[in-house]
């Protein structure tokens, strides 16, 4: 698994879904995973007065399009991210829930969710402050493949053209029954326009690529300064593509006193 520091790595247990095997079509991704830690300093995880995007109570809805050439699959799902009012390992806490379709009223989301079918909610972390946004992506209900990619990460101020590296290491990995090492070369590419709810917003785009004995892994992330992560595109060996696109946000109204 990707981790944010050696200290957190020693404390944190791999996410498991009640001993269920998580699969992406025929690809099993339940395994003991290790990582080369991301470089971090104390100020990166310090809480500050930054006006965060991912405030407790906020809801972010993504459309998830899955294309698999080898399996002849083309399907869309919906993934709902909720920000909780709690902390875990010095990070914020988020949940992911999965839907085949969405109700018109966001208050009715839970009644049609995967929570009812499986009895658990995928819970993970997010880190956001004035220097850094770092999001753990969804990795259950068929999206375990995303475990193999660098998690969405943007450091402020953004420097277009800046390059950095991330590595993923897994022993006895199910993809190859071998030790799998992925060395990603990441880069902030450019600022451009992205369509969100019939309007154009400015986004920062970054991409990365890694190659291994199991083929190629590429990823593209797009961020907006007010919306956060607006799109993530994952490609595995030119055979599987997953695109997560932000389609709606819900911000709770402040409660009136009295």
Domain limits, the chain: 6-14+21-39+48-250
Question: E strand or H helix at 25, and its extent?
Answer: none
SS3 226: coil
Q: Which residue has the tokens 């920000």?
A: 83
Backbone phi and psi for residue 112, each to the nearest 5 degrees, phi listed first: -120, 20
Q: What is the mean pLDDT of residues 31-58?
A: 61
Structure tokens at 177: 């029954």
* Architecture of the 6-14+21-39+48-250 domain: Beta Barrel (2.40)
Q: How many CB atoms lie within 10 A of CB 225?
A: 14
Residue 79 CA to residue 102 CA, distance in Å, equals 10
Segment 195-246, tens digit of pLDDT: 998 999 999 999 999 998 888 999 999 999 999 999 999 999 999 999 999 9
Residue 163 CA to residue 206 CA, distance in Å, equals 9
Backbone angle region of 148, left / alpha / beta, with phi > 0 → left and psi within -120 to 50 → alpha: alpha
pLDDT band for position 105 (50/70/90)?
confident
Segment 165-186, tens digit of pLDDT: 999 998 888 888 889 999 999 9
204 upstream amide cis, omega within 30 of 0: no
Structure tokens at 220: 């593209």
Closest CA to 230 of 51, 94, 62: 62
Q: 243 CB contacts (<8 Å, ≥6 apart)?
A: 64, 65, 231, 232, 233, 234
Percentage of the chain lying above the pLDDT 70 cut: 77
Q: Which residue has the tokens 């595995």?
A: 236
Which pLDDT score, from 0 to 100, does residue 213 have? 80
Q: What is the mean pLDDT of residues 68-84?
A: 88
Residue 202 CA to residue 195 CA, distance in Å, equals 9
- Rounded to two decimals, what is the model's pTM? 0.81
Residue 58 CA to residue 81 CA, distance in Å, equals 8
Hey, CA dihedral for 89, 137, 203, 100, is it positive or negative?
A: negative
Q: How many CB atoms lie within 10 A of CB 173?
A: 22
Residue scoring higher pLDDT (49 or 22): 49
**Cβ contact 201:59 at 8 Å:** no
Closest CA to 235 of 251, 217, 252: 217
């Amino acid at each position: 698994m990707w981790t944010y520091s050696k200290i957190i790595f020693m404390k944190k247990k791999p996410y498991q879904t009640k001993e269920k095997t998580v699969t992406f079509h025929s690809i099993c991704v339940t395994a003991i995973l290790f990582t080369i830690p991301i470089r971090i300093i104390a100020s990166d995880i310090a809480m500050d007065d930054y006006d965060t995007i991912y405030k407790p109570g906020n809801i972010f809805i993504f459309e998830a399009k899955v294309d698999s050439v080898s399996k002849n699959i083309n399907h869309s799902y919906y993934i709902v991210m909720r920000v909780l009012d709690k902390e875990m390992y010095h990070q914020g806490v988020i949940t992911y829930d999965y839907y085949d379709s969405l109700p018109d009223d966001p208050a009715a989301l839970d009644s049609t969710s995967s929570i009812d079918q499986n009895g658990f909610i995928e819970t993970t972390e997010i880190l956001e402050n004035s220097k850094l946004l770092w999001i753990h992506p969804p990795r259950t209900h068929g999206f375990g493949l995303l475990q193999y990619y660098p998690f969405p990460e943007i450091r402020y101020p953004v420097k277009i053209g800046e390059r950095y590296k991330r590595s993923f290491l897994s022993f006895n990995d199910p993809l190859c029954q071998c030790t799998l090492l992925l060395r990603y070369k990441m880069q902030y590419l450019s600022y451009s326009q992205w369509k969100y709810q019939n309007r154009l917003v400015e986004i920062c785009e970054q991409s990365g690529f890694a190659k291994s004995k199991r083929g190629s892994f590429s990823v593209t992330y797009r961020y907006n300064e007010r919306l956060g992560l607006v799109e993530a595109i994952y490609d595995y060996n030119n055979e599987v593509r997953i695109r997560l696109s932000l389609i709606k946000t819900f911000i709770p109204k402040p409660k009136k006193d009295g």
